[in-house]
Structure 1
Amino acid sequence: MTTTSKAQRRGLLSRLNLFGGTSAKKWEAENVVPASDITQNLSVMYGSGMTTVASLMSSGKRGARSRDQIYSDWAQMESDPIVSTSIGLLVTSALGGHETSGELVFIEKKASVEKGSRLSNMVDEIASDLSGMFNDHAFQMSYLGGIFGDSYARIFSKPKDGVIGMMVDELIRPPLVQPYERGSRTVGYSVSVGERNFEPMTALQMVRMKMPRTQWVPQFGVIEKSLKQSLREDDMDKLPLMPSMVGGSLIYAAEEPYQNLSASLLGLVGQRWLDSIDEQIMTLNMNDMSKDKQEKFASSITRMLQRSKDIAEQAVKGGKPIFEKIRHIVPVNGEKQLTALQGLGQQPGRTGTIGIEDVMLHARLTSGAIGVDLSMVGFADQLSGGLGDGGFFRTSAQAAERARILRVALAQCFNNVIDIHTMHRYGVVFKPSDRPWNINFFGSISALEAEKQRTRMDAMGVGMTLAQTMQQLKDMGATKELMESFLTTTMMLDKEQAALYAKIVDAAPAGGSDGFV
């Protein structure tokens, strides 16, 4: 027994030496045990005692809102042409599309899957059964996910057949669905439809495309969640079932610029309408007129002005221009009977006006907060010189990064659908690392590819310059030490690389020692 224990210890030590690690006991002693000294008094002592979970109710200038109010604000932003086009552009950038078939999503076998094997045939069947559904709903789910941070699909499945249908429509729009989580795992849903305005759904009936929560959206309910949620619990299955908080929207950061944009547009349009009103105050000189003549004269002038108004109104409503001049005859005796009061009618102008630049500023902020340059959503005159039409589509790093986020979230959602399919049809659910398939999208994100190509070209240029420099030094008769010193100090290479490259001094010329073939 003692010999076996010593052998086991030697085996453990040899494995630790092989991987360069430390024992679990030593790691716990260094990283886990010291946490037992953390107390509430220690937190108060260093000025942290006043920090409470109430800080979750605000973020900068934004206070907590209800779930309905948050979704209502985002739904209003969704109807804006700049916001809608920006999100659509991100989705288009993420999904691409086949030139002829229009397919967006592909289920492909991993390279490790042997051709003709059972797993290979299974992936082929999965692709045949589900690819059409994924391509039908990929754009819609990605768009809703970008707007609301979540999107959902109702799954219809049968034993032995697997998933036979998906539904993504107005009945399961994100404002109507409340997902429930245990830890970070979504385990169920409640949908605000039906006879009771409440329909519970399981993880086999619905799937969720969940965008990463990179920004906190202050909202009511998080205090109750903090009171019920226990961070000390290590077993995820013992955590309470809690409603998921709203978040993950790509338009959240654009809320304030959008509000300013709406106010600027409203002020600009209102100013134009106000300036279009032609109004004057006129006085009638009725001296030396009897009461009867005064009434007739005032009535005649009123009918005359009303007639002019009716003619202009009919021309506007009918869409027909007026080709004749309108003349009114007012008989006068002695002095003029009509006088226009200047200054009380049309305003001479405003000291402060809302111009197009005010609107463009907030439009740039709105589109930039979403991650799309304003020139990409219809304002081609904003393109910088030299890039040409569509130049920002190839170089917008922000759009590329957000498009990649959409891809990851959508791929995870479709993997969940395939898990439901394989469970019903094959009686197995693969671990994420053991899945024999990959969710791929047609084409690549153009901005990221442009950056890769630019980086590759820069690296090739540096390599060619380095090779030419080394050849010139060798032709000048540089020694190995001189070559190494030059590469280290002037070319700023590492010593190991410089020593390796300096060996070219001792290399024989191509074709033979004398330099001739």
Structure 2
Amino acid sequence: MNFGKTLANLLIANRENAYRESLPAIQDVDNRYDLLTPFELGTFTQKDKALRTRKQIYTKWQLMQTDPQIAEALSLHVTAALGGHETTGDMIFITPSQKVRGKGSRTKDLREKVEREAKRLTPILNRNAYSLCRQAIGYGDSYARIYLDKKGVADLVNTDFTAPPLILPFEQGGRTIGFFALDGEKLAQPIAKLDITQILRMKMARIEYVPQVNLLDWQDERQIGYDVRLDMPIVPSLVGGSFLYPVESAWDDAMKSLTGLNNQQIADSVKQAFLTINMEGMPPNQREKYKDGLIKTLQNYRNQIQEAFNGGEALYGTKYHILPTWGDKQTIQPIGDLAQRTAPLSSETLMINLRRISGGLGLDLSLIGWADMLAGGLGDGASFHTSAQIMRRSMLIRQALIDAFNQLMSLHWGIKYNEYFYDGDYPWQFDFYSDQSAAATEALNNKQTRMNTVALMAQSLSALREVGLKKQSVMAILEGIGGLDPDQAEPIALELTQGGQEIGMENGQNNAMHTPNDEPIDDMSDDDTDDENDGEY
């Protein structure tokens, strides 16, 4: 019976393996799907998200950044991502990576080179880091002009001439190969063609898809079907990566609400009154003269008020206006302002739209001009330290900035030392001084919580050892109450019930774990010629 079950299991396993090996290819799909699938792929063009040109998109984002709340929100994200030294104000530092901190001659040479070049490039990077990040999260890309000499990178300049709307990057399979640059926003100006050694590009991750019109619709832009990157066509890079795209509609609604409130406030401040005059029995000519005189009197009254606003003589005297009447004739009776408001204006619609903007940008309203609502900011913590939205965007900013600076550092290193490193194999690394950021605060809080847990566990284990329970009892307490896994609780219980006594022995007795003659273990050789234990370098 057992042999039969074993044979059946083998047959089933072989059949399953054969099924896995005979997986059909995509070419085996029915050819009729070739005609139907194009109508199912993609999305329909929405009225609110119509296709726009590159210039239209950048114009919209540039207009949004003129809003003081939007500008402050973007600046706060950059500050949260980069931080800053409290004395020097430096935001980014170049240090040797972990791979070159060994004792071999190669690692020592690379480490000294990194430290030497850090002194030259760190000031250049810090001068441009903030502006690059600020423009990158606003437009999705930011650029800086690279100036080289025989010693590598001489300077990095980010000015109005490197504004994102003026530079068009070209890509081949997602890799930037060069740029078209316009010298000022004049169509008559010539286009400068620059390569990647002349322009540094900070490219934000394309998280949201931005509907846009391709510049060259007639070109073969099929890219996903190529297996080799060099065979792919060179096409202009699409616009994207900006923090502003998800809040475009919310910003439009907020501006409409704000405009409506402002217009209504101005309209309410304009006072009007309707007057009725009894002109019964008055000749027609006298009616016209009386009406013209009344209009002139009211105009003089308005001029007196304007003169009073300007500090004129109207403040120091009384102006009399005489209106003659006969009996009950020519009696003026005011009806009142027909546009007088009976209910106060409501800003609730505006606040809802502003909350949508702040939520889309990952900031609290108290940080971007509404400090009366909540406490927050760099001084007393609040959401700037605890917001997961700020931390998530800080990671995106850092990744894009580090990628750009790695390219710049590789260019500098190649010119000066004629050496090249693959991505992820650099002997340098970029560090941020950002203890005031949400990411650093979260990491420090996690470390503090873990260390507190370790201290509390040590006290509990010491108490268990003093009680003198048996191994099974200690394991039951550690698993049931302490929440430890069995493979964690068993060695701890064994150490408390057996090896714990040896730990507390007096000096001079044998120790089960260490002996007085133990020497520290060092797997790094002091011989400069021995690089076997120094990693790749």
TM-score, normalised by the number of residues in structure 2: 0.80
What are the within-5 Å matches in structure 2 for residues 161-176 of structure 1?
161-176=151-166
Q: CA deviation at 1:388?
A: 8.5
Residue 423 of structure 2: aligned partner: 432
Q: Is the 8 A contact 2:277 2:333 kept in 1?
A: no
Q: Is the 8 A contact 2:144 2:199 kept in 1?
A: yes
Residue 183 of structure 1: aligned partner: 173
Alignment partner of 1:439: what SS? strand
C-alpha distance in 2 between matches for 1:443 and 1:50? 50
Residues 313 and 99 (structure 1), Cα distance of their counterparts in 2 relative to 1, 3 Å cut:
same
Q: CA deviation at 1:264?
A: 1.1
What are the within-5 Å matches in structure 2 for residues 50-449 of structure 1?
50-53=39-42, 55=43, 58=45, 62-113=49-100, 117-158=108-149, 160-193=150-183, 196-221=189-214, 224=217, 228-316=221-309, 322=315, 326-335=319-328, 337-340=330-333, 342=335, 345-349=337-341, 354-383=345-374, 389-444=380-435, 446-449=437-440
C-alpha distance in 2 between matches for 1:31 and 1:316? 89
C-alpha distance in 2 between matches for 1:92 and 1:33? 55
Residues 221 and 445 (structure 1), Cα distance of their counterparts in 2 relative to 1, 3 Å cut:
farther
Per-residue Cα deviation, 1:163-197 (whole angstroms, up to 9, x for no partner): 22222112221111111111121011111337544
One-letter identity of the residue aligned with 2:250: P
Residue 25 of structure 1: aligned partner: none
Per-residue Cα deviation, 1:242-263 (whole angstroms, up to 9, x for no partner): 1111000012111111111111
Alignment partner of 1:308: what SS? helix
Per-residue Cα deviation, 1:2-34 (whole angstroms, up to 9, x for no partner): xxxxxxxxxxxxxxxxxxxxxxxxxxx999984
Residue 44 of structure 1: aligned partner: 33
Q: How many pairs align?
A: 479
Per-residue Cα deviation, 1:456-480 (whole angstroms, up to 9, x for no partner): 3333444445445555555555321
C-alpha distance in 1 between matches for 2:165 and 2:449? 48
Per-residue Cα deviation, 1:398-441 (whole angstroms, up to 9, x for no partner): 11221222122112112222222233333333222332211222
Greater alpha carbon shift after TM alignment, 104-113 vs 320-329? 320-329
Q: CA deviation at 1:277?
A: 1.0
C-alpha distance in 2 between matches for 1:168 and 1:76? 21
C-alpha distance in 2 between matches for 1:232 and 1:129? 44
C-alpha distance in 2 between matches for 1:458 and 1:267? 50
One-letter identity of the residue aligned with 2:212: Q
Q: Is the 8 A contact 1:395 1:451 kept in 2?
A: yes
Alignment partner of 1:97: what SS? coil
Q: CA deviation at 1:209?
A: 0.3
Q: Is the 8 A contact 2:146 2:197 kept in 1?
A: yes
Q: CA deviation at 1:208?
A: 0.4
One-letter identity of the residue aligned with 1:183: G
C-alpha distance in 1 between matches for 2:320 and 2:24? 94
C-alpha distance in 2 between matches for 1:324 and 1:30? 105
Alignment partner of 2:100: what SS? coil
Greater alpha carbon shift after TM alignment, 325-334 vs 178-187? 325-334
Greater alpha carbon shift after TM alignment, 504-513 vs 480-489? 504-513
One-letter identity of the residue aligned with 1:132: P
Residue 523 of structure 2: aligned partner: none
One-letter identity of the residue aligned with 2:51: A
C-alpha distance in 1 between matches for 2:129 and 2:251? 27
Q: Is the 8 A contact 1:380 1:389 kept in 2?
A: no
Q: Is the 8 A contact 2:243 2:361 kept in 1?
A: yes
C-alpha distance in 1 between matches for 2:449 and 2:429? 32
C-alpha distance in 2 between matches for 1:440 and 1:319? 64
C-alpha distance in 1 between matches for 2:441 and 2:312? 51
One-letter identity of the residue aligned with 1:382: M
Alignment partner of 2:335: what SS? coil
Q: Is the 8 A contact 2:279 2:329 kept in 1?
A: no
Per-residue Cα deviation, 1:91-136 (whole angstroms, up to 9, x for no partner): 1122222223222222222244369954344324432332222122
C-alpha distance in 2 between matches for 1:414 and 1:458? 34
**CA RMSD, aligned part only?**
3.3
Percent identity, aligned pairs only?
A: 31
Q: Is the 8 A contact 1:181 1:241 kept in 2?
A: yes
Structure 2 residue ranges without an equivalent (≥5)? 1-17, 507-537
One-letter identity of the residue aligned with 1:86: A
Alignment partner of 1:457: what SS? helix
TM-score, normalised by the number of residues in structure 1: 0.83
C-alpha distance in 2 between matches for 1:40 and 1:226? 29
Residues 319 and 123 (structure 1), Cα distance of their counterparts in 2 relative to 1, 3 Å cut:
farther
Q: Is the 8 A contact 1:470 1:483 kept in 2?
A: no
Greater alpha carbon shift after TM alignment, 74-83 vs 402-411? 402-411
Q: Is the 8 A contact 2:366 2:375 kept in 1?
A: no
C-alpha distance in 1 between matches for 2:320 and 2:21? 96
C-alpha distance in 1 between matches for 2:492 and 2:216? 63
Structure 1 residue ranges without an equivalent (≥5)? 1-28
C-alpha distance in 2 between matches for 1:198 and 1:363? 40
Greater alpha carbon shift after TM alignment, 132-141 vs 76-85? 132-141
